[in-house]
Amino acid sequence: VETECEKSSATTYFWYRETLDISNSISESGGLNWKMTLCLLVAWSLVGLAMIKGIQSSGKVMYFSSLFPYVVLVCFLVRGLLLRGAVDGIMHMFTPKLDKMLDPQVWREAATQVFFALGLGFGGVIAFSSYNKQDNNCHFDATLVSFINFFTSVLATLVVFAVLGFKANIMNEKCVVENAEKILGYLNTNVLSHDLIPPHVNFSHLTAKDYNEMYRVIMTVKEGHFKELGLDACLLEDELNKSVQGTGLAFIAFTEAMTHFPASPFWSVMFFLMLINLGLGSMIGTMSGITTPIIDTFKVRKEVFTVGSCIFAFVVGLIFVQRSGNYFVTMFDDYSATLPLTVVVILENIAVAWIYGTKKFMQELTEMLGFRPYQFYYYTWKYVSPICMAVLMTASIIQLGVSPPGYSAWIREEAAEKFLFYPTWAMAILISLIILASLPLPLVFILRQFHLVSDGSNALSVTYKKGRMMKDISNLEDNDETRFILSKVPSETPSPMPTHRSYLGPGSNSPMEMSSAPNGRYGSGYLLASTPE
């Protein structure tokens, strides 16, 4: 008998010892885990193959990787709702806990979840949207994606809590059986009197309700010596409160629940295929946010750069497949994305709403969409969103300073998780992660501000298609460029402004009045001259 397995559970032992072969702390590297290294290589090979032809290959893969998880989730939901105890789990899900809602950590993780789910701040959304037509209805797309994201989260959470409710009932029954055997032993050795057992209790078919009644009687009578008996309360609520997150949810709690399903190997295969697809879909989006701007800017070969990026990512990823690699995964998950992502999204918001100008942005949206966006967007972009995110970021920084960061380590000898604080060198890595992830923003700003790097604004390449006639204009001076784009010749340039009045914000002038102002390179005429090929 493996002591570690006996003290924990078969699923927990398999995850921590057989799969990860995890060390006792982040300080103990333990060398590479060859099985995990091989899996990492296969994962990055799949990403590389899916992206090697750019949008032509990744677009097709995304159809499957996006739709297949929904099929699996619906199947799991139907199966989960038919399980005993599923209702307990769902009721627990919808029961609010006010103490948790006051914790900044919960809101920080909720914000991170939204950023990850919607792809905000990563560049993936911008990269994919660059393939859209100019008159694409981005308003409809943004609304649709937000609603799909919300309902997907609710669907996935229903599945998780239905299965966890089933698991909690299984574990509670196991607890009742084990403690009932203890009570029988105490009755046979006259430690407990038979008079303490209610007459209707049947040890052959002991229910949780009967056990709780018996437990309360024994606790009341044996108040002075109750702790010595070593009896557990076996409350379903306690089992449901044993919340797990991250890898523990997918690879321990959910997997352990699936072992009790009828035809469990089928459900296991479906579940892990879904996880692979979710990971593949996420990485294609994230990698597109990295590769697309570099390929477009420096005109490097798509295939070569994609393969090179995947090889580089695999090499960097070797830090995660050491025996202590899971602790680095936790560190990166908790700190490399959360705070920098919030900073990136706040600065994106400020850049559009305050520097570029919400009125100008609203005007251009009106021209692209053909209708006026709601006033609601104006106020949320300019005031609500930046304030909410700034409060969230401030709370995160304060919490980071007040409570030292740590991680849950698996201690082999105890066969249990133990919270440990990060050592000094790990703290240095953690802070470096946050700084490195945020560094490109001020760095590129300084380089462009002092003209050390060209921002591409002094060159324009526009192609107009009027029947068979094509005109290519490059490297125009500001005045020539404006004169060309805002040309008065009706055959070359359509009227730059829509005929209807658009909402541009409080106290704004009409679009026609604004068009008379010198708008230069970024003016409305640029967007309306024609659709660039």
Would you list which residues are annotated within the binding site for Na(+)?
149, 278, 282
Q: Count the neighbouring beta carbons within 10 Å of the beta carbon of residue 167.
A: 23
Contact 101, 184 (CB under 8 A): no
Q: Tokens 């769902």 map to which residue?
A: 90
CA triple 72-75-77, angle to 5 deg:
110
Distance (Å) of CA 506 to CA 68, 166, 387: 46, 54, 19
CA–CA gap between residue 144 and residue 497 (Å, rounded): 28
CA–CA gap between residue 396 and residue 104 (Å, rounded): 7
382 is written with which tokens?
A: 């300019």
CA–CA gap between residue 514 and residue 532 (Å, rounded): 23
CA–CA gap between residue 303 and residue 288 (Å, rounded): 13
Q: Are strands 469-473 and 462-466 parallel, antiparallel or unpaired?
A: antiparallel
Question: Binding site residues, as ranges?
Answer: 149, 278, 282
144 is written with which tokens?
A: 């649709």
Contact 453, 440 (CB under 8 A): no
The single-letter DSSP state of residue 321 is G
Q: What SS3 state is found at 405?
A: coil
Q: Tokens 């946050």 map to which residue?
A: 434
CA–CA gap between residue 351 and residue 358 (Å, rounded): 10
The single-letter DSSP state of residue 357 is I
Task: Find, among 288, 276, 282, 278, the residue nearest to 53 by Cα.
Answer: 288
Task: Find, among 96, 99, 253, the residue nearest to 165 by Cα.
Answer: 253
Contact 377, 431 (CB under 8 A): no
